Amino acid sequence: MKTIYQHLFINNKDLTWPVDIQAAAKAMAWINRTPDILEQDLTGMATYFPHWILVGATQERPLLCRDCERFYVPLDGAMRCLKCRRLERVSGLLWLGQLPIPARSEPAFQPGQERLRRAGFAEVNSGQTTYLLVPLTVRYPTEWPNQEPIVRYAKPWLKALHLPLNSGYHHLIQGGRACIFSWGQWQAMPIQVVLQQRMVNHALSLFKIVAGQRPADAFIGRIHNRAWQPERSEG
């Protein structure tokens, strides 16, 4: 199998480690049956989202070392703390990172962007485009890829935008989980495709609601690149 390396910057230092698929299999049984599926996800995420990392989870939250407050990662045959290498049992695996979405230039979107800045959320510039960085976790289900992943927004990000944690209108359930597939709609796809095809649109739709658009209109992917003003609704 191809070795995939992941990176994390802490205190201006670049920590780099190889992802141990056999160690990851100790956390989730489906990896024992289909290690090639995890390898595909690792390769795809390294290509399209190279700053995301795969970490150990307890329930649906990243598990941190009680001594070092670092993540546990699949490394050297076990789930180990990135700093002290302590071994720990985890209940699952999740991806952790920030999803870039293009910032809108219309005046109605500026207050929301300012609220994110004041709350300390980052932006990046590429050419003439500014991208907002949306903090997310993507947890593997027990029977991946036959079940959809659990994608959650960081609660402080939703709070900064005055968005609810649970609202059918906002396609948010279970305390900040993104509802991105309707019943029976899930079809197996890699993690990076879930982020590209579903979560970019979901996050942009939430931002449209913050800017004043009705939720019923905001969650229509085809209008994300169309000019819109809050004084009128789009048909």
Quick: pLDDT tens for 68-110: 999 999 999 999 999 999 999 999 999 999 999 999 888 999 9
- Do residues 174 and 202 share a domain? yes
**pTM passes above 0.75:** yes
Residue that terminates a domain, selected from 75, 94, 113: 94
Tell me the residue range of the domain where 51 lies.
Answer: 5-94
Whether 100 is in a domain gets the answer yes
Q: Are residues 147 and 168 in the same domain?
A: yes
pLDDT of residue 215: 87
Report the candidate in 228, 162, 170 with the shortest Cα–Cα distance to residue 202.
170
**Domain check: are 84 and 124 in the same one?**
no
Asked whether residue 24 is domain-assigned, the answer is: yes
Q: Distance between CA atoms of 59 and 69, rounded to whole angstroms?
A: 17
Q: Which residue has the higher pLDDT, 85 or 234?
A: 85
CA neighbor of 95 nearest in space, from 22, 165, 43, 42:
42
Asked if residue 143 is part of any domain, the answer here is yes
144 and 88 in one domain? no
List the Cα angle 30/135/65 in 5-degree steps. Answer: 65
Three-class secondary structure of residue 157 per DSSP: helix
Q: Provide the 3-class DSSP secondary structure of residue 53.
A: strand
**pLDDT band (50, 70, 90) for residue 230:** very low
Domain count, the chain: 2
